[in-house]
Amino acid sequence: MTTDVTTATYLARSFDTPANPFTSDGALRAEEVAIVVVDGVITERVPVAQAASASGGAPVLDLRADDGILLPGMVDTHVHYPQVRAMGGLGMPLLDWLERCALPEEVRLADVDYARAVAEEFVSGLVQAGTTSALVFGSHYASAMDSLFTEADQVGLRITSGQVLSDRLLREELHTTPERALVEGRDLIERWHGKGRLRYAATPRFSLSCTDSMLEVCAELMGGPESEVMFTSHLNENRSEVEAVLGLFPDCTSYLQTYAKHGLIGPRSVLAHNVHATDDELAQMGAAGAIAAHCPTSNSALGSGLFPLRRHLDAGVRVAIGSDVGAGTGFSLLQEGLQAYFMQQLSHDGYPLTPAHLLYLVTAAGADALGLADQVGDLGVGKKFDAVLLRPDGRSTFGTALRHARDDADALAKAFVLGCPGDVVGVWVDGRPVMQAA
């Protein structure tokens, strides 16, 4: 495709999960179909033979060549913009990794030119991996947030992000005051929240680096129940982190309570990791409608532990996937889905994930977590055409395996096992290509 259009009919071998496979059977929808897109919205799904008549004269584009498969645009619910150049650090637990790898890099984003270059690399990394929507952990610097939002707006991705807030226990250059945080946060919301496909999220780094006064600022930035500003932070990632947080908040009996006592836990709250959650915390999250962002490769790389997926689901906690770049090992949510599968296989109480579960976790579950389920997450009629085309080289292991797949579920499994950003050849947001499909 070479024309920047939002109205076309796409012939595709498509895979999506319009129903939650954790609560329903047969949720995988896999079919060869003509998807009619008008002004960026899917208006019909018809048999391929009816494509010409359904197109209404708009272009008919065949995406099926060379075993191409079409998936919904993927949704990353936890990824760090300032850490794109910090990926690859191994052999350290969380707090050591932060001190040695992540925080020195984050300080560099005080330089506007440096931040602009990192923003370009970050947004490009998302696109190349087939990620069309993301909840992004931002920078400590308001100027660097402007760079991120500017780049995301120009490219056209759906990005929710916010300035990261801390006022203790980090490098001094990353600290701010509650007063300054409130002013800068309100200014960023005024400039960016609701512009194009951009939204804002109140983002304390974690309770370890935030006083009660700073967490209260986050509550002010979120606004009332009618506000669409989100909340995101870290929770129960590492045992040493949990112990340190509880020592700093003697009035709290759990890590979750440090946020909840300020009214920060609800259906607009996405908490990353939650590896070491207590039963009481899970019950509170489930009752409040909060979401856990599971970050499989990061949890493995930092040795944080095995994510208790079954316990989350049993407690009614919604779960989606995050790449957690830069502790995570890359932007690919296909890779994250595969690692999630591996970790559940290793857990004594693991959930037996199928290809449909993995696809749901990296698409529709993320859309639901970000409050976008009415717009994106699957390729159903009425949804925006956010999509990613995988087309493996016919000589590659992925291409060979895909041609010999036993059935649709097996073909999807091979995408998670063998697919990578190099196989992404087309990405659309609102029907507009942000990566051109040949």
DSSP-assigned letters across all residues of 27-39: --EEEEEEEEEET
What integer pLDDT is reported at residue 1 of this predicted model? 33
What integer pLDDT is reported at residue 2 of this predicted model? 37
Among 366, 404, 289, residue whose Cα is nearest residue 76: 366
Least confident of 17-26, 160-169, 276-285, 404-413: 17-26
The packing angle between helices 112-128 and 142-155, to 10°, is: 40
What integer pLDDT is reported at residue 24 of this predicted model? 85
Among 192, 189, 183, 145, residue whose Cα is nearest residue 164: 145
CA distance 437 to 119: 24
Could you read off the pLDDT of 163-215 as tens digits, one per residue?
Answer: 999 999 999 999 999 999 999 999 999 999 999 999 999 999 999 999 999 99
Paired with 232 in beta bridges are: 270
Token pair listed for 397: 């292991």
Local confidence band at 368 (pLDDT 50, 70, 90 cut-offs): very high
Mean pLDDT in the chain?
95
Local confidence band at 28 (pLDDT 50, 70, 90 cut-offs): very high
Q: What is the mean pLDDT of residues 231-256?
A: 97
Residue 59 Cα distances to 2, 35, 300, angstroms? 11, 12, 45
What integer pLDDT is reported at residue 370 of this predicted model? 98
What integer pLDDT is reported at residue 438 of this predicted model? 57
Could you read off the pLDDT of 44-97 as tens digits, one per residue?
Answer: 999 999 999 999 999 999 999 989 999 999 999 999 999 999 988 877 888 898
Q: HEC states along 176-193?
A: CCHHHHHHHHHHHHHHHC
- Which pTM value belongs to this model? 0.97
Residue 354 Cα distances to 6, 7, 294, angstroms? 33, 34, 17
Q: Is 225 exposed, middle or buried (0-12, 13-18, 19+ CB in 10 A)?
A: exposed
What integer pLDDT is reported at residue 90 of this predicted model? 79
The answer to whether residue 218 scores a pLDDT higher than 70 is yes
The answer to whether residue 376 scores a pLDDT higher than 90 is yes
Local confidence band at 354 (pLDDT 50, 70, 90 cut-offs): very high
